[in-house]
Amino acid sequence: MKRIARLIFIFFLTYCPFASAQVSIRVPEQVSAKLGDSVLVPIIIDDASAIAGGFITLTFEQNLVSVDAVEKSSLIDDFQFVSHIIGAEVRLAFSNASGLSVGNGTIATISLRVNSQTEDRVTGVLALSQADFYDENAQEIATTVINATVDLTPNFVQFSLGIPQGLSLVHLPLAVRTINAEPTEMRTIGDFYDALGPENVNFIITFDSIAGAWRSYLGPSSRGTPADLPITADTGILTLMKDRVTLHLEGHPWGVTGMSTIQLRPGLNLIGVPLKDERLKQVSDLLGLEGLRNNATAIVVYDEGKFKVVTQRGDDGDIPITGGTAFIVTTREAAVVEIRGEGWGKMLD
């Protein structure tokens, strides 16, 4: 029976006229990612309640990006689904005996990787070159393609990070590619120490949340030791400076397409906020985020030469959240906190 149903479906796809319904399909207008990273591109459909099957082709520029994976969404979880990557095309087909009961959502998500050999600030194009849909009677549904091209551009931001003399809680607000206009790798705490300069910094302290231990980076002898921790989107850093230093940073915003995370473990966490999230104006706003709400017991800031504890709005330490600042957070349970927004600093043209 299933085979006969498929044959009938194919027959109607070939010979039946348009149905009266109409849908629109789109990909995001702009997707940004740093070189070598993956970026998720959703194929979004509106007014989809009548759809029982369809064919989609997404074309891409092979010299700029490659396709890592194709995943169907929960919207068509009950549908038969196949995907093929052929040359510079991703071809999708899906079908079901009955049409969708919801009106919009994501049909599938394409995981693209920006080729690491790509030059800076290049723009590629993604295009929905085919989008054909059919209802449960195998009648074709009129389709409008919206935002059918995507500029895939590695975006860069600039940020001046000032670290004063004495004690500070610091966070690198972007994935650094240059410091003071010089190409610089900033992968570990040792790289950060070198950028500050041994003549300016006494030592750097981080908290290894996996080991549950504080780590002190004291200089070249700490290279390659447990104190030489990787720098990630949410890494918080405590510095003790001999003199003030200002680093003029350029790099990529943390995360992918305006989304990053803060990883929390039970107990102490030394963290920074990866992106400029419009929900977060004051430190106490962190306490309302999913993953921190009813989980965080306190947030500690360093302000006016003192450590201050924040447990509610209006506490003395409830200062504005700014790029480049870290916080100590104590939590009951492990959690992943989603941060959404734009990169800290000034976006380059």
Residue type, 151: D
List the beta bridge partners of residue 303: 306
- Same domain for 147 and 208, yes or no, is no
Sequence-ordered strand ranges (E) for 225-334: 236-241, 245-252, 259-264, 267-272, 296-303, 306-310, 326-331
- Same domain for 81 and 53, yes or no, is yes
- Same domain for 230 and 139, yes or no, is no
> What global pTM score does this model have?
0.61
- Same domain for 45 and 144, yes or no, is yes
**Domain-terminating residue out of 91, 122, 152:** 152
- Same domain for 139 and 16, yes or no, is yes
- pLDDT tens digit sequence for 111-166: 988 775 554 556 667 788 889 999 888 888 888 887 545 555 556 789 999 999 99
- pLDDT tens digit sequence for 100-111: 887 788 899 999
**Domain-terminating residue out of 91, 123, 152:** 152
User: What is the number of structural domains in the chain?
Assistant: 2
CATH of the domain at 69: 2.60.40.680
Mean pLDDT, range 315-343, rounded to an integer: 95
**Domain-terminating residue out of 105, 122, 152:** 152
Range of the domain at 42: 2-152
Q: Which two tokens stand for residue 276?
A: 């400029």
- Same domain for 97 and 167, yes or no, is no
Task: Give the pLDDT score at 114.
Answer: 75
> How would DSSP label each residue in 142-188?
EEEEES-EEEE----EEEEEEE-SEEEEEE--SEEEEETTEE----B
| 128 φ/ψ sector (left φ>0, alpha ψ -120 to 50, else beta) | beta
- Same domain for 185 and 72, yes or no, is no
Mean pLDDT, range 26-53, rounded to an integer: 78
- pLDDT tens digit sequence for 221-279: 999 999 999 999 999 999 999 999 999 999 888 986 678 999 999 999 999 999 999 99
Task: Give the pLDDT score at 63.
Answer: 78
